[in-house]
Structure 1
């Protein structure tokens, strides 16, 4: 169903709208390179991508893993406890080869970025094949994994190299994997083999189309890039030799018109994408539910790609709203009639991005924009919105209450309640310890009795350096005599030596603050407080509870006023009276740099 409500509101787009900008990485001379991402931790989270690990192991004798005792009933699912996925492997390899096979079965993906999903992951023990079973000189395995949802995402890795990735399986599916390591051949047999072959073919088509698309650079002036005669000559040679569908050229998108045209092409290509043409060819091979699921999944993948480009363009006028509205997802007729569970994350994320962009371009709130989405999917999209945006929402607590009261999917509601209790004002800060500069363990309980400002940073992060130079360090100078206030920095680095080198550089912090090492965003405290992008800040009260986790001031003066508001009145008055001169000299100089 098209957002007819918004079409009526397009005439109001001249009204003042949100100035929210896309969080993209700036590069010298260019606003954005397509496919660039915000500065985030290189740590993908725990090795199990943040979900709950289940102790799935292979018996040494019979080789059969049966997880029937571990299947968890899915609240709100339309197919709770419905069956198993059986995977058999026959591997031809030299006895000296180290295989290190690992599998993942992912269900109920609310937000993989923050590890909000159900996941089974474990290594696979191999057994010697049998002459009588036709597997002599081979190594074999057999898994039987419970699936509590209509579909689950399956991955199979060998030494971190994917053999199967993002393959959708259903309860009752059985698959045999034949892998010849020396010949680098991978084949499939068994009842679900045809389904897997089709999915791999769709992935190949999508990858080929993506690789053949021209790269782009969003740049205000091409002369910034082509600033020498040598570069101009090379670029012109590429343009002259360019043949569509044969080679590629870098498109320099200098104007809004050029960017909108590119976005229109991306949206239009989704409709006629070769993946959907190929998918229709196999409509008789695939079961109807799988065919529909794959259509939903790939629709989300391609729509997401187009919307990420739009976000990178930092849209600000009504022309962009018209583009998004004209190519918005029409979910009617695409979704299952008995929808009651969670759809592919890619599809939900595309609806999230679409409506966040529209919220920034129109006078309509996000929850009003999503009101027409069918109930369970609306729960999924609205929850994603709160998970991703809660730190910057002025009324986050009331929005959590509203979405929780309307939620129909119990599992989603339970996840939101956990998040609400972990990150909103008044929540207990995670008690987990960190490593100090001397190698000692430092625990947050040691900070009780003081107001604490925490700055999360990452080595190599330009925005982290900017915050330190223009805000964090000036704040330390401003409140250096304030005994009721602690300054703490927590690094998201995975490498301790790199953290120590960054400390020594003085670009991110100073020895006068409490400087701590987390070991990466998989640290329990960072996971609990949803710290994945850097820099990030948090204020704690004297009882170790969260005072503020978002909506922070944009300038130094605002930060000073904010911190003063949390300090005892006598301390605040002392700071104001005694540091006016310091502020007028040191912090003003900092701001003018």
Structure 2
């Protein structure tokens, strides 16, 4: 009897343990899956380009992963992300080569959409019409549906056209603010229809996106104005609009999670400087990134804190707009001392160590037009002006024209100055044609290219260069003299900086 009793107890325990195991709550998926089908594209084999994650979206320097996935014969694609712990960003765009075109280009894109761990979203893309049609299903698809709907509503309002058409008189600016607020209210009402399917944090981040995106297009008005011509009363009116535009009632950690709000606050800092000192020419939009960048950094330092401040500083430090040699040095030093979040600290440590004046410059080894390899160290003892560009870059064209005609002639006969032109073209033939055309620089420069690697060469990756025009000045000892020399419309300042480097 005792033996039978022990056997019964054992069976009960085993059964209980089995029941526990079979009733375990499955571990929540910690990655994101995006699947889909492209149809109506005339049988052209598409590829899907996906930019995923990153502390600041679409910026490889800050951890964004760039993936290209070729569709199957039936137009299907599948993407599985790395494991994530927090909501993050994804940009999804069709990427294909059209008839008569030499290279692939983006189609319509779902840009900076929000995803979170466990999302398993399916996308049907119909390219048969002029405007692509998207249908979303699966876990997490409600986020995509409302983000796409809000994008469409903003597109139909045509915020860019309103920005251009209304001008900059106060009545027009007031109208634009009203349009922005009305559009935001419409989009937030749409967001609230899916609130129950979203976490509180995701809901608030998407709300910050709405305020930020409409703010970028319709509220960063003063940054493009000449407030030095305004009356005292007008300045007061603008300040009132400015203050009202920044009222979201959202916590700073939420705002820090919205790239659109980061962009909005970046532009509004320019407006704040202009309103505070309307007669200072350095604060005008066309001069601020060349002469007033350190003052912008002071605003971000003094008025914000935590992750929001850290992202504002990093977002603007990596901007191609910055061409203030001394301002970027001051801001780099400030950011190096202020940024404490481990992931962001690692980024600023890298930027500081590679871009601050006096840092040893990357000793590239690149082919010239004759196929010979050229190193930066070949020019030791000389001041080197570096210009990084790519074919099709309009800003690169404008800058080359200025440098070719207004800067280079002053140093042409100086053996201690070298002008080095580096192309990020992937096609050698395209690069050689562009060199021959002299549209992106003169043939008498030292013309190099990144060996077909584009902007994925070790040299461009080292500095986080993702486009052009990117310029630098290297001193006689092969060290960084300026990682952000003056560019468009600042030829005199660039000449002065090169002369300054020669005198050191």
TM-score (ref. length: structure 1): 0.61
Q: Contact between 1:88 and 1:177, CA under 8 Å: does it hold in 2?
A: yes
Cα distance in 1 between the residues matched to 2:51 and 2:491: 47
Are residues 146 and 162 of structure 1, via their aligned partners in 2, closer, same or farther at CA, if it must alter by over 3 Å?
farther
For residue 397 of structure 1, what is the aligned residue in structure 2?
Answer: 329
1:98-247 paired onto structure 2 within 5 Å: 99-102=45-48, 104=50, 106-110=52-56, 112=58, 115-119=61-65, 121-123=67-69, 143=80, 145-155=82-92, 157=94, 159=96, 161-162=107-108, 164-177=110-123, 187-210=135-158, 213-214=161-162, 216=164
For residue 403 of structure 2, what is the aligned residue in structure 1?
Answer: 467
Cα distance in 2 between the residues matched to 1:114 and 1:313: 33
Q: Contact between 2:325 and 2:482, CA under 8 Å: does it hold in 1?
A: no
For residue 58 of structure 1, what is the aligned residue in structure 2?
Answer: none
Cα distance in 2 between the residues matched to 1:489 and 1:368: 34
Q: Contact between 2:30 and 2:117, CA under 8 Å: does it hold in 1?
A: yes
Give CA-to-partner distance per residue, 1:537-576, whole Å, 9 cap, x none.
432223321122335598777666654554479xxxxxxx
- SS of alignment partner, residue 303 of structure 2: coil
Aligned positions, number: 435
How far off is 1:434 after superposition?
3.0
For residue 473 of structure 2, what is the aligned residue in structure 1?
Answer: 539
1:56-95 paired onto structure 2 within 5 Å: 84-87=30-33, 89=35, 91=37
Cα distance in 1 between the residues matched to 2:428 and 2:76: 39
More helix by share: 2
Q: Contact between 1:85 and 1:169, CA under 8 Å: does it hold in 2?
A: no
Cα distance in 1 between the residues matched to 2:161 and 2:246: 25
Are residues 470 and 281 of structure 1, via their aligned partners in 2, closer, same or farther at CA, if it must alter by over 3 Å?
same
Cα distance in 1 between the residues matched to 2:38 and 2:156: 30
Cα distance in 1 between the residues matched to 2:260 and 2:354: 25
For residue 267 of structure 1, what is the aligned residue in structure 2?
Answer: 177
For residue 24 of structure 1, what is the aligned residue in structure 2?
Answer: none
For residue 423 of structure 1, what is the aligned residue in structure 2?
Answer: 355
2:235 counterpart of 1:323: no
Structure 1: 5+ residue runs without aligned partners?
1-80, 128-136, 217-250, 570-593
Which of 299, 302, 305 in structure 1 is aligned with 2:217? 305
Cα distance in 2 between the residues matched to 1:156 and 1:555: 36
Structure 2: 5+ residue runs without aligned partners?
1-26, 97-105, 278-293
- SS of alignment partner, residue 203 of structure 2: helix
Q: Contact between 1:394 and 1:551, CA under 8 Å: does it hold in 2?
A: no
RMSD: 4.2
Which of 283, 303, 311 in structure 2 is aligned with 1:372? 303
2:267 counterpart of 1:353: yes
Which of 255, 258, 261 in structure 2 is aligned with 1:344? 258
Q: Contact between 2:356 and 2:483, CA under 8 Å: does it hold in 1?
A: yes
Q: Contact between 2:93 and 2:110, CA under 8 Å: does it hold in 1?
A: yes
Cα distance in 2 between the residues matched to 1:560 and 1:392: 14
How far off is 1:116 after superposition?
2.8
Cα distance in 2 between the residues matched to 1:115 and 1:98: 33
1:20-35 paired onto structure 2 within 5 Å: none
For residue 6 of structure 2, what is the aligned residue in structure 1?
Answer: none
For residue 436 of structure 1, what is the aligned residue in structure 2?
Answer: 368
Are residues 368 and 504 of structure 1, via their aligned partners in 2, closer, same or farther at CA, if it must alter by over 3 Å?
closer
TM-score (ref. length: structure 2): 0.71
Q: Which stretch shifts more, 366-375 or 379-388?
A: 366-375
Cα distance in 1 between the residues matched to 2:495 and 2:72: 61
Cα distance in 1 between the residues matched to 2:180 and 2:115: 24
2:173 counterpart of 1:294: no
Cα distance in 1 between the residues matched to 2:398 and 2:94: 34
How far off is 1:210 after superposition?
1.6
Are residues 320 and 293 of structure 1, via their aligned partners in 2, closer, same or farther at CA, if it must alter by over 3 Å?
same
- SS of alignment partner, residue 427 of structure 1: coil
Are residues 442 and 119 of structure 1, via their aligned partners in 2, closer, same or farther at CA, if it must alter by over 3 Å?
same
Cα distance in 1 between the residues matched to 2:330 and 2:174: 36
Cα distance in 2 between the residues matched to 1:441 and 1:547: 24
